[in-house]
Amino acid sequence: MPHRPYVIDEMISAKSIAARVEGLARDIHEDFKGTDKLVVVGLLRGSFVFIADLVRELDLPVEVDFLEASSYGDSTESSREVRILKDLRGQIEGRDVLVVEDIVDTGHTLAHVTDYLSTRHPRKLRTIALLDKPARREVDFKATWTGFEIPDEFVVGYGIDFAQRNRNLPFIGKVRFTG
């Protein structure tokens, strides 16, 4: 399926992202200090770069697991129907859990995932999102920590894709369609 041509304008630099990840790791450390092990759950696929950088900054014992939920497919718009495509491999009952998301848009995905994981009775469940678009929120959900609040723009880079493209960009960029 051909896509309309587009260009990407840098919105958040790689240097700004690295500095913010460092600060977020300090906040997470404070909240979870004393934990015997923090289960860091990355929401695939968009969070994989963020989670890799974040866990390297955490001065805590961590276990990494992944969950894949989808509400987009190859579209630029959320379908609002959240499906779990890949579940956790490990158990989280009685454990400290941090869910890592790339972007909170409508809020449906992260709200659904936290409700879903809460039924497994973690000791503590927190959320972090690299990006937050409050202008698009449709459900009352706010991540525990947010890297950057952004306007209602379609963005790519740092793990975030457009139809499986542009995940490898080291910065966050705004997609601007040219045709």
Mean per-residue pLDDT, 33-56: 95
Mean pLDDT of the chain: 92
pTM, 2 dp: 0.91
Any idea where the domains of the chain sit in the sequence? 14-148
Q: What percent of the chain has pLDDT over 70?
A: 93
pLDDT, residue 138, reads 94
Higher pLDDT, 44 or 132: 132
Q: Which residues are catalytic?
A: 105
pLDDT tens, 66-112?
999 876 554 455 556 788 889 999 999 999 999 999 999 999 999 99
d(CA 145, CA 165): 27
- 14-148, what's its fold? Rossmann fold (3.40.50)
* Res. 1 pLDDT band, cuts 50 70 90: very low
Answer yes or no: are the C-beta atoms of 101 and 109 closer than 8 Å.
Answer: yes
- Give the rounded distance of the alpha carbon of 9 from its chain centre: 21
Mean per-residue pLDDT, 25-36: 96
